[in-house]
Structure 1
C-alpha cells in the first residue's frame, strides 16, 4: 500500500454516461462468482465487529493481514520477534476457512531503526533470520507471501534506495529475500508487489524489467502482485496494456490491494458525482476484464483493500476526511456501484 495516493491527471472522459451507475441488487457472494479466490484485507481490531465478520465470511475466501504481518508489527527494537498479532490474523483466517496471504516480509519503509548501526555481517545474518523465521512460522498456513513490497521508485526511475539496498545491494537484497523465503517454505507462492503499475506506465515498465532481471538470475519468484490502487482518471486501455505485458512472463498475477478513489489530488475538483462514478466503473470494469482474460493458471487471487468503504485506509487520513467510496460495500455492508461494475464485468 503506498504511503500516499499518487493521482495522475488524465484525458479520459466517459462521454456516453450521463450519471452515476446505481447500486446493484443483492447477488451471489463474490467468492462464488470468480474462478479463483477473492481476497480482503483486515486487522485484528476488526475481529470484534460482527457486521464486518459476517460480510467477510460471506463474500471472501482469502485474507491478507493489512498490518499485523508487516515487520513493524513483528520486529522488536532488539530484533527479537513478536508473533502475537500475526498469529491472531492467521487464526482468524483458519477459523473462517480462508486462504492466508502473508504481507509483507521486506518493505523499504520499515525496519531501519532496529538494524541501524549493525556491521554488515550482523545486518545480513539478521535480515536472513527475520525472513526465514517469519516464513517458516506460517509454513503450511500462509499459501503465499509478498516477499518484497514496493521496490520500484515512485516515478519509475529505477529502484528505491533505502537501508536494505544500501547494506545488501539494490538487486541482491531482493534476490536474498526470495531465496531465504523459498528455502523456509518451498510450497509458498512468492510475489513481488508494487503499486501504480497500471496508473504510471513508466513505473509498470520498470517493475516488469525488475521481474525479468530476477527471473533471469534464477530467483524463485512465482508471482506479480499489482496493488491496483486505481486512479479512475487514467486513459482507457492503460490497465489492459499492463496486464498484457505482465502476463507474458507466465507468472501468477495477484490483484493484491484493489480500491478506486473518487477523490482527486487536484486543488479544485469540479467533476460531478456522476462523472466520478462513471470513471470508477469504467476503470474497475477494465481491471476485472483484464484479470479474467488471463490464463486460468495465472489468476492467483482478486483482493480488495478493505471490506467496506468505512474500513478503507483512504478514509483514515484526517486530511482526506471520511467521504471517499473506493470499495465494493458501503458502511452498512450493502453493495456499492463499484461492486456492480465488478459483477457486470464477470457476466
Structure 2
C-alpha cells in the first residue's frame, strides 16, 4: 500500500535541495522549530555553549528542551573516582540555564555499557551493588524535580541486532538484569521523571530495531518501570523510503511516549567512493528527515514526548570533530552562522504535513 504522505515528502525535499544546489547563498526559509513542533523541540548542549551568545540566541529561538551532550555521563560525573565527590558543576550550570530560559531538561545518561568499567574493576557482590546503586540514586536524586526525564540505560543492543551487549554491567547482573536494576533504582530516586530506554540505528537497521523492541516487551512483562522509548535517529540517508515510518509505527504499539532523542543526518559516505551529486545527497537527507518528522507528528499526542536534534549548527556536531572533518558535511538544521539549512525546512515541513 502506497503511503501518500511518504510520496509527497519528496516534493518539498527536492525543492529545498534545488534551492541549495542552484544558489547556495540563497536563504532557506524555516520558522522557529519549536513554534511548529508537535512536542517539545530539543537539542544537546555542552556547558561551554552558554558562553556563546550566537548559540544562546539560536537556542532561545528554536528550542524548548535541552539534553546534556556528555557532561551528565558517568565519564565526567565520576571522573575523580569512587573516593571523590561526584562532579555536578557543569551540568548544574546547564540545568540552571534551562530553568532561566523556560526550557525542560532531559537527563542523559545514567547507565551506559561503554562507561564505568574503571569504577567497578575488581568488584563483585555487595561492593559492586553499592557502586551501581549509589551512582544511580545519587545522580538521579541530585536532579530530582529538575529534569523532565532520563535516559536510564543507553545503547543496550549490539550493532548487528544479534542481542544484548556484553559489558561489565551485564556480566554482573545479566543481560536484562542490569537494565531492570537501573530502572528500579532510578524510579526510586526520581519518581516523577519519565524513564527512557535509548538506542541508535533502530531505523537504519531493522534487525536491531526489532531486537530493541523485543527487549522493551520483555522489560514491560517483567514489571520494569520503563516509561518511554528513545530512538537516537542518527539517520543513514541511504535507507529506503518508508523504513523510518515502519519503525516508528512498530515502536508506537506499546503505547509509550517516544523521544526522537539525537537526530542528525550526515551527507558523507564512509568507506566508499561517492558518485552522488550534492543535490542527490541533499534529497536523500531531507527526504529521510522529513519522513521522520511526519511519522513523529502522526503519533497520538500522548506519545509525542519530544523531538531532539544532536546539535544546532553543523560545526557543533560530533560528526564535524576530529581530523577526518573536511568542513563540508551538513548534518544539522543550521549553518555555522545560524542560518537555516534545507534540513530545518524539511523538519518544519514534516511537522506541518
Q: C-alpha displacement at 1:28, in angstroms?
A: 3.2
Q: Which shifted more, 246-255 or 318-327? A: 318-327
Q: Deviations over 1:74-117 (max 9, x none)?
A: 01322541211221211121121110000000001111112101
Residue of structure 2 in register with 1:236 after alignment: 241
State which of 95, 98, 118 in structure 2 corresponds to 1:113.
118
Q: C-alpha displacement at 1:175, in angstroms?
A: 0.2
Q: C-alpha displacement at 1:25, in angstroms?
A: 4.3
Q: In structure 2, how many angstroms separate the alpha carbons of the residues matched to 1:102 and 1:117?
A: 29
Q: C-alpha displacement at 1:263, in angstroms?
A: 0.6
Residue of structure 2 in register with 1:338 after alignment: 343
Is the Cα contact below 8 Å between 1:73 and 1:85 reproduced in 2? Answer: no
State which of 299, 305, 326 in structure 2 corresponds to 1:321.
326
State which of 29, 34, 39 in structure 1 corresponds to 2:42.
39
Partner SS, residue 241 of structure 1: helix
Residue of structure 1 in register with 2:82 after alignment: 78
Q: In structure 1, how many angstroms separate the alpha carbons of the residues matched to 2:178 and 2:214?
A: 17
Is the Cα contact below 8 Å between 1:18 and 1:274 reproduced in 2? Answer: no
Alignment of 1:1-347 (within 5 A): 17=14, 20-22=17-19, 25-75=28-78, 76-78=80-82, 80=84, 81-347=86-352
The number of residue pairs the alignment matches comes to 334
Is the Cα contact below 8 Å between 1:68 and 1:89 reproduced in 2? Answer: no
* Greater helix fraction, Structure 1 or Structure 2: 2
Q: C-alpha displacement at 1:35, in angstroms?
A: 2.4
**TM-score with structure 1 setting the length:** 0.93
Q: In structure 2, how many angstroms separate the alpha carbons of the residues matched to 1:150 and 1:162?
A: 11
Q: In structure 2, how many angstroms separate the alpha carbons of the residues matched to 1:345 and 1:267?
A: 31
Partner SS, residue 264 of structure 2: strand
Q: How has the CA–CA distance of structure 1 residues 141 and 203 changed in structure 2, closer, same or farther, with 3 Å as cutoff? A: same
Q: In structure 1, how many angstroms separate the alpha carbons of the residues matched to 2:229 and 2:37?
A: 19
**TM-score with structure 2 setting the length:** 0.91
Partner SS, residue 104 of structure 1: strand
Which runs of structure 1 show a deviation greater than 3 angstroms over 4 or more consecutive aligned residues? 14-19, 23-28
Q: C-alpha displacement at 1:19, in angstroms?
A: 8.6
Structure 2 gaps of 5+ residues are 1-9, 21-26
Q: C-alpha displacement at 1:168, in angstroms?
A: 1.7
Q: How has the CA–CA distance of structure 1 residues 311 and 151 changed in structure 2, closer, same or farther, with 3 Å as cutoff? A: same
Q: Which shifted more, 80-89 or 147-156? A: 80-89
Q: In structure 2, how many angstroms separate the alpha carbons of the residues matched to 1:19 and 1:256?
A: 24
CA RMSD of aligned residues (A): 1.6
